[in-house]
Amino acid sequence: MSLMRSVLLAGAESVWLRERAMRWPFVRRSVSRFMPGETADEALAACRRQQEQHGTGAILTHLGENLSSLAEADAVTAGYLALIDRIAKEELDAQVSVKLTQLGLDLGVDACDRNLQQLVARAESRSNIVWIDMESTKYVDPTIELFRRARARSPRVGMCLQSYLRRSAADLEALLPLGPAIRLVKGAYREPPGLVLPSKAEVDENYFRLAVRMLHPDAPKGTFVGIGTHDRRLVGRLRAEVAARGSDRSSYEFEMLYGIQRPLQAQLVAEREPLRVLVSYGEFWFPWYMRRLAERPANVLFVMKNLLAG
């Protein structure tokens, strides 16, 4: 892991830094590139713009994690239920993605499960889907268990796997018999060295292998992969695989964050590749923002330009 990435990921966990940086004007200016606003209304408006101006769908996520009470988790659940209803009412091509610690995972698996089941049931009633985001390694096993519970009740649920974890290949093989919907990302948490692949090249190659495994003709029926990367080289390699295998476009889509790699997003749309943009909103954006900076050095350069402009 590079020194800059280590520093940024450590910063994501710093309460001291969060309390100060969220008040700095240049930070708020730079985060606006990646987040259209803090409210659900602003996020939904961005989804409509993406749909009408660019022809892309969206995935909405309310930022926040590690809540301290079940009342907070219930409130987050109620907010997501209302969001799923608004998506349907406004006829948007949008889905939702949740962190299980927002739904009370730290306070009990069963309580979290009840909240997740509410969301999946509402999504099913609206012909939509709920994505389960992946958090740090201590949450991988309970996240997979809760995904399995939800998937046993409904196919309207997907989950995330991270290619920087050594265990992800085995996790994928164990999940494949379900014909799952998997969003594949590289990973953006600070983890013990023994649990993660040590170099970017190895993380990238593992990403490619995992994605190809899901795109393989022998993958169980219903398997779907959300290719969640902004890495132009990886995107090109996987597009070549899709073309060589004649993969059905209903079995995959590219997924990128709002405001990142806009030229690549435009290219994919122009070349009729399925693309969905992840739109984040909420007041608890600082840890998420720091992880986005850690993912791509170009994002740090953008922040520095804002600092100098200020």
Size of the chain, expressed as the number of residues it contains: 310
The pairing of strands 224-227 and 181-185 is parallel
Question: What's the per-residue H, E or C state across 193-239?
Answer: HHHECCCHHHHHHHHHHHHHHHHCCCCCCCCEEEECCCCHHHHHHHH
CA dist 286 and 211 (Å) reads 30
Largest pairwise CA distance in the chain: 54
- Tally of CB atoms within 10 A around 235: 19
CA dist 191 and 3 (Å) reads 14
Is 183 among the catalytic positions? yes
Residues with Cβ within 8 Å of residue 221, at least 6 apart in sequence:
179
CA dist 216 and 246 (Å) reads 10
CA dist 19 and 35 (Å) reads 19
Catalytic-role residue among 156, 183, 276, 292: 183
Q: Are 265 and 275 in contact (CB under 8 A)?
A: yes
Catalytic-role residue among 5, 106, 122, 133: 133
- CA-CA distances (angstroms) from residue 46 to 57, 220, 280? 11, 35, 10
How many CA within 13 A on the CB side of residue 198?
Answer: 2
Is 133 among the catalytic positions? yes
Catalytic center residues: 133, 183
